[in-house]
């Protein structure tokens, strides 16, 4: 498929290059006149369907990174700064102002999601709207946090009121596949709990943050949100080495997380909230509804071209139904429409990572050399920034596509004769996020689910894997995650529980009453008896 500028509808056109020349530090939108880097677009604007230049972003240096860090450090000021001591209601007001400002930028951000990362229009709109909802839900959850905690059982005569407060300065690094939504699942809870943030957007999906810079600047006190652009090793390394980061919040890969953690003087004792790799399997049992399994596996493996940590990355099918599954699945994959993100029905879109098609091709070649075949007619067809998903079968454990997190459009199918085979692989895997289980017999499913919940954190019954709804815990075992995200859990991940204890309940209650009347900075739940 070829596309030229003339094919791009007026509403989605970008007429000139986008030069982001400011960054946000200490409440100021600072002008940058130094080195810049080109940002590429995944959209074809030329007949030969190449990645094209969309604009430029600043490449800040170590000095600017440390300036941003100092600004956040001052806003925290060892827990005595403006942000951690601000009254709860005032912090909520900042967040409410921000979300109102953000909503005015929907059109711009959605357009950039399409141009920068190639996410199709419905999913780009969903990413924006889901983020807005996430912010509102976070505000509501914050008002309720810990209210429903169980009371302490033992009556020792010590009375307490429980509080929840911030942890300190957060370094926030987001992913390219959900540059707005997933980044904000770190940023928003961190902020509302009273933690100032230094945020560096990912290399891809960076310009779409620009329309929001001003909203951040207008809504939060100085130093609370700092946004810097540039190379991770230039910016994040000195920030981590300074030892001033209290929480590393990252969605990305474990290699980066390990490297950053090692740079921090506190190393293993550093608090972290991490969303990392996964190799979520689908397991299709002999009695599965195959039509349903195929539909769900299409969405699970290939939504946003498979570039989701929650994507299904290997499909295990019982040998008794593998032939039928493969036939139905391969046929459906070939029906998926490839096109630019705004085109109606585009399920597959150009890939934002320049090197991704070649990488996927390597996985295909390796699998073919070791005995797998491409089952679908279009599998492996390429243009410069796209490769049509290949369904590979039979995939075996020695193949790279079985071992690596492909994070792209290629689907390995493995057949099994005994359920112990996929269970064994899952137990041996470095990852443990989710699984999709397809079957109908309750007596077979229930013991299996009991086993699976100790291998992963979410079992999806007759449905594909996903993060949402955002009120559910989002986490993983082993190298898949550290800490838990979701509207409610993330508030806890970015805070610590403290309490005030007294043997005199009347006195404790009087203090509590006073604090509540004055509107405190840390959320106070109801009182407890220890």
Q: Please report, as ranges, the residues that interact with ligand G3H according to CB under 6 A.
A: 177-178, 182, 308-310, 466-468
- Nearest-approach distance from CB 131 to ligand G3H, in angstroms: 11
* Residue 310 beta carbon to ligand G3H: minimum distance, rounded to whole angstroms: 4
Query: How far apart are CB 170 and ligand G3H at their closest, in Å?
Result: 19
Q: How far does CA 439 lie from the centroid of its chain? A: 29
What angle do the packed helices 88-103 and 121-144 form, to 10 degrees? 170
Strands 523-529 and 159-166, how do they pair?
Answer: antiparallel
- Cβ closer to ligand G3H: 185 or 376? 185
Nearest approach in angstroms of CB 482 to ligand G3H is 14
Return d(Cα 6, Cα 267) in angstroms, integer: 53
CB-based burial of residue 170 (10 Å sphere; 0-12 exposed, 13-18 middle, 19+ buried)? buried
CA distance 285 to 107: 44
CB of 515 to ligand G3H, least distance (A): 38
Q: 309 or 322: whose CB is closer to ligand G3H?
A: 309
Nearest of 275, 392, 284, 346 to residue 1 by alpha carbon: 346
User: Which residue number is nearest to ligand G3H in terms of Cβ?
Assistant: 309
Say if CB 225 and CB 24 are below 8 A apart.
yes
With respect to ligand G3H, which residue has the nearer C-beta, 211 or 252?
Answer: 252
What six digits make up the tokens of 269?
A: 């004792």
Which residue, 239 or 251, has its beta carbon nearer to ligand G3H?
A: 251
- Return d(Cα 316, Cα 284) in angstroms, integer: 6
- What are the CA-CA distances from residue 58 to residues 71, 222, 230, 451, 498 (Å)? 19, 21, 6, 49, 41
| Length, in residues, of the chain | 530
Q: CA-CA distance, 241 to 99, in Å (whole number)?
A: 33
In contact, 421 and 316? CB cutoff 8 Å: yes
Give 25 or 314: the residue with its C-beta nearer to ligand G3H: 314
State the nearest-atom distance from the C-beta of 224 to ligand G3H, in Å.
Answer: 26
As a whole number of angstroms, the distance between CA 63 and CA 275 comes to 28
Q: Which is nearer to ligand G3H, 160 or 250 (CB)?
A: 250
Nearest distance, CB of residue 466 and ligand G3H, angstroms? 4
- Min CB(162)–ligand G3H separation in Å: 31
457 close to 432: Cβ distance less than 8 angstroms: yes
Neighbours of 496 (CB within 10 A): 14
Complex with ligand G3H: residue 177 or 406, whichever CB lies closer: 177
Structure tokens at 49: 């369907």
Rank residues 370 and 477 by Cβ distance to ligand G3H and give the closer one: 477
- Bridge partners (DSSP) of residue 277 are none
The least distance separating ligand G3H from the CB of residue 117, rounded to whole angstroms, comes to 12
Q: Which is nearer to ligand G3H, 174 or 379 (CB)?
A: 174
Beta-carbon contacts of 205 under 8 Å, excluding residues fewer than 6 positions away, are 113, 116, 117, 174, 175, 176, 177, 179, 180, 352
Q: At what angle do helices 181-192 and 88-103 cross, to 10 degrees?
A: 160
Instruction: Please give the structure tokens belonging to residue 223.
Output: 């130093």
Give min distance, CB of 341 to ligand G3H, in A: 16
Please, what is the minimum distance in Å from the beta carbon of residue 311 to ligand G3H?
Answer: 7
Q: Which residues contact 253 (CB under 8 A, 6 or more apart)?
A: 276, 277
Of the two residues 195 and 280, which places its CB atom closer to ligand G3H in the complex?
A: 280
CA end-to-end span of the chain: 68
By beta-carbon proximity to ligand G3H, the closer residue of 70 and 353 is 353
Q: Looking at the DSSP assignment, which residues form a beta bridge with residue 478?
A: 431
């Amino acid at each position: 498929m070829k596309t030229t500028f003339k094919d791009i509808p007026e509403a989605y056109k970008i007429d000139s290059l986008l030069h982001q020349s400011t960054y946000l530090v200490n409440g100021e939108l600072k002008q940058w006149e130094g080195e810049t880097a080109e940002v590429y677009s995944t959209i074809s604007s030329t007949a030969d369907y190449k990645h094209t230049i969309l604009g430029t972003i600043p490449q800040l240096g170590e000095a600017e990174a440390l300036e941003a860090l100092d600004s956040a450090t001052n806003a925290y000021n060892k827990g005595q700064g403006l942000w951690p001591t601000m009254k709860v209601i005032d912090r909520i007001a900042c967040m409410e102002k921000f979300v109102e400002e953000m909503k005015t930028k929907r059109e711009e951000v959605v357009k950039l999601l399409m141009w920068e990362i190639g996410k199709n229009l419905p999913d780009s709109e969903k990413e924006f709207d889901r983020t807005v909802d996430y912010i509102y839900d976070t505000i509501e959850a914050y008002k309720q946090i810990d209210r429903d905690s169980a009371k302490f059982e033992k009556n020792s005569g010590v009375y307490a009121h429980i509080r929840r407060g911030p942890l300190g300065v957060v370094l926030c690094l987001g992913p390219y596949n959900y540059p707005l939504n997933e980044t904000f699942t770190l940023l928003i809870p961190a902020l509302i709990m009273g933690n100032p943030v230094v945020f560096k957007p990912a290399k891809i999906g960076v310009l779409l943050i620009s329309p929001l810079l001003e909203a951040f600047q207008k809504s939060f006190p100085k130093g609370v949100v700092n946004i810097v652009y540039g190379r991770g090793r230039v910016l994040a390394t000195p920030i981590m080495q300074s030892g001033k980061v209290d929480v590393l919040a990252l969605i990305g890969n474990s290699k980066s997380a390990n490297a950053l953690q090692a740079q921090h003087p506190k190393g293993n004792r550093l608090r972290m909230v991490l969303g990392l790799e996964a190799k979520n399997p689908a397991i299709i049992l002999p009695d599965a509804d195959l039509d349903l399994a195929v539909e769900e596996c299409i969405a699970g493996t290939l939504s946003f071209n498979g570039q989701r940590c929650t994507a299904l990355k290997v499909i295990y099918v019982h040998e008794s139904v593998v032939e039928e599954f493969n036939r139905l699945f391969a046929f459906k994959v070939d029906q998926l429409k490839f096109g630019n993100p705004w085109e109606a029905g585009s399920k597959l879109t150009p890939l934002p990572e320049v090197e991704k098609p070649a990488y996927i091709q390597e996985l295909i070649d390796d699998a073919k050399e070791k005995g797998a075949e491409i089952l679908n007619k279009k599998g492996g067809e390429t243009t410069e920034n796209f490769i049509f998903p290949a369904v590979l079968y039979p995939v075996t454990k020695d193949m790279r596509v079985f071992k690596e997190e492909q994070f792209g459009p290629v689907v390995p199918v493995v057949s099994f004769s005994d359920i112990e085979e996929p269970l064994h692989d899952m137990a041996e895997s470095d990852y443990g996020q989710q699984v999709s289980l397809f079957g109908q017999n309750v007596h077979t499913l229930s013991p299996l689910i009991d086993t699976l919940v100790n291998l992963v954190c979410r079992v999806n019954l007759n449905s594909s894997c996903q993060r949402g709804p955002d009120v559910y815990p989002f986490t993983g075992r082993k190298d898949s995650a550290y800490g838990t995200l979701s509207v409610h859990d993330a508030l806890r991940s970015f805070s610590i529980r403290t309490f005030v204890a007294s043997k005199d309940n009347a006195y404790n209650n009087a203090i509590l009453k006073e604090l509540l009347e004055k509107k405190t900075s840390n959320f106070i739940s109801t009182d407890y008896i220890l």
